[in-house]
Amino acid sequence: MKTQAIVLERPERIVLSTLEITPPADNDVVVEVEYSGISTGTEKLLFSGRMPAFPGMGYPLVPGYESVGRVVDAGPSAQHRIGERVFVPGARCWGEVRGLFGGAGRRLVSDASRVMTVADQGAESVLLALAATAYHAVAGGGKRERITPPDLIVGHGVLGRLLARMTVVAGFAPPTVWETNPQRSGGTEGYAVVRPEDDTRRDYRSVYDVSGDASILDRLVARLAPGGEIVLAGFYTEPLNFAFAPAFMREAQIRCAAEWQRPDLLAVRELVDGGRLSLGGLITHLDEPMHAEAAYRTAFDDAGCLKMVLDWRHCQ
């Protein structure tokens, strides 16, 4: 079985290619993808060649972990899934081509237990992974005894917006959001976006950074209330460091938000299906896979692009 897929052959070199995919095993499903999102975090690092080394890393690879489509075939133990519309958080079905994270293809083979049934919400369903990332940052995968919602969010991209929306719909006080790019200051839903230099507050209890700026810690520590927390919810390629004395005087806490887990995904699906969390207004660009190189460069380099989604419906 062959299908079209996005292949990152090496850093800065991306193509649409035809690849052989693994036939479904007993509990696998075959998903015909409708839409896949482009991540401006991990995928940008893969594209630029700046992704830190970890097991399985290497080129060529198929990127993508935000895919939505329909189950069109299945192994004997998963036939009941045929016809379902599902979210697929990546796939490892590409033989010698690595799947990091393997979701950017027209057809995917995945274990049925990894896919999640979703409502027919068009391309917006690809945003469930980012919503789960935001949810995990706050809830800590259910391992935290006390949830402290953000009262300052640094960055008004898609992840920052989802964090702010979740805070508002949960009934907490609306957070302040910092954004330095005027192109990204709009689109608020019940919260304020300001430039850092226009914010005089110095008593934030919980600061969530989604900027990925490795040099930001000293600036954030200076804005904390005593005992305040900084949550690192972005992805950082450079070492982070900070001046100890100011952090010591505030007894600052610093927490890393790990990768979302399936319970986070299920939780945000419930919020979206129940109408409590909106995913609207976050997808700004839609393109076809045959324009892959231009689409990826727009996603990574155009500040006006919040979220680029590939539309696979017309591919073979």
Confidence check: pLDDT of 236 > 90? no
Confidence check: pLDDT of 16 > 70? yes
Backbone angles phi, psi at 193, to 5 degrees: -115, 125
Separation CA 58–CA 99 (nearest Å): 10
**According to CATH, what is the number of the domain 2-121+279-311?**
3.90.180.10
Distance of CA 307 to the CA centre of its chain: 10
| 89 close to 129: Cβ distance less than 8 angstroms | yes
pLDDT for the residue 144 = 60
% helix, strand, coil for the chain, step of 5: 30, 25, 45
Domain edges within the chain: 2-121+279-311, 144-256
pLDDT for the residue 42 = 87
What is the arithmetic mean of pLDDT over 236-251? 94
Q: Is 36 helix (H, G, I), strand (E, B) or coil?
A: strand
Amino acid found at 79: Q
Output the average pLDDT for the chain.
94
Largest CA-CA distance found in the chain, in angstroms, rounded:
62
What is the arithmetic mean of pLDDT over 249-274? 94
Which of the four pLDDT bands, split at 50, 70 and 90, describes residue 91?
Answer: very high
Q: CA torsion angle for 51, 219, 170, 37 (degrees, to 10)? A: -20
| Percent of the chain with pLDDT strictly greater than 90 | 84
- pTM for the complete prediction? 0.93
Across 176-180, 224-228, 254-258, least confident range: 254-258
Separation CA 110–CA 120 (nearest Å): 20
Query: Helix H segments across 111-179?
Result: 128-139, 158-169
Of 3.30.70.270, 3.30.70.1380, 3.40.350.10, 3.40.50.720, which CATH number belongs to 144-256? 3.40.50.720
pLDDT tens string 172-191 = 999 999 999 999 999 999 99
| 277 close to 268: Cβ distance less than 8 angstroms | yes
What is the arithmetic mean of pLDDT over 137-143? 74
